[in-house]
């Protein structure tokens, strides 16, 4: 019988900055193994739903912060836009778009684990 590799959420090489936003090692692959192993992996993923929701809330807070900063930068750039304001606004917009994508994927995963049996 194939056993799932155990991986701690915080390995010695991980820093707090790396562990804070990423739910790496939290979920197991439900597409591999026998039907019993896939069912066990799915039950494990459902048990981790609370931690996944916490990561989703963290990413939502980061997204909100970036959007507020983007609003402040866009209000500061009244009239002519100097290159620094343009670059800063573009970077904040790109970061917000990436955060929105991460929140969407994590939110969809949370909904799937919560609603589908």
CB distance 81 to 48 below 8 Å? no
- C-alpha span between 95 and 66 (Å, rounded): 7
Return the pLDDT at 73: 87
- C-alpha span between 93 and 38 (Å, rounded): 39
Return the pLDDT at 97: 96
Return the pLDDT at 17: 63
Percentage of the chain exceeding pLDDT 90: 40
| Average pLDDT, consecutive stretches of 10 residues, N- to C-terminus, the chain (117 residues) | 55 60 78 91 90 91 95 78 82 95 92 87
Return the pLDDT at 26: 81
16-46 confidence digits (pLDDT tens): 666 666 776 788 888 899 999 999 999 998 9
Query: In this structure, what are the phi and psi dihedrals at residue 9, rounded to the nearest 5 degrees?
Result: -65, -30
pTM of the model: 0.74
């Amino acid at each position: 019988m194939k056993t799932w590799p155990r991986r701690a959420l915080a390995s010695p090489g991980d820093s707090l900055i790396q562990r804070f936003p990423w739910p790496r090692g939290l979920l197991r692959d439900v597409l591999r193994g026998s039907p019993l192993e896939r069912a066990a992996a799915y039950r494990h993923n459902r048990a981790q739903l609370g931690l996944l929701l916490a990561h989703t809330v963290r990413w939502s807070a980061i997204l909100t912060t970036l959007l507020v900063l983007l609003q402040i930068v866009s209000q500061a750039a009244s009239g002519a836009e100097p290159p620094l304001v343009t670059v800063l606004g573009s970077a904040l917009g790109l970061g917000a778009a990436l955060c929105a994508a991460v929140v969407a994927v994590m939110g969809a995963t949370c909904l799937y684990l919560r609603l589908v049996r």
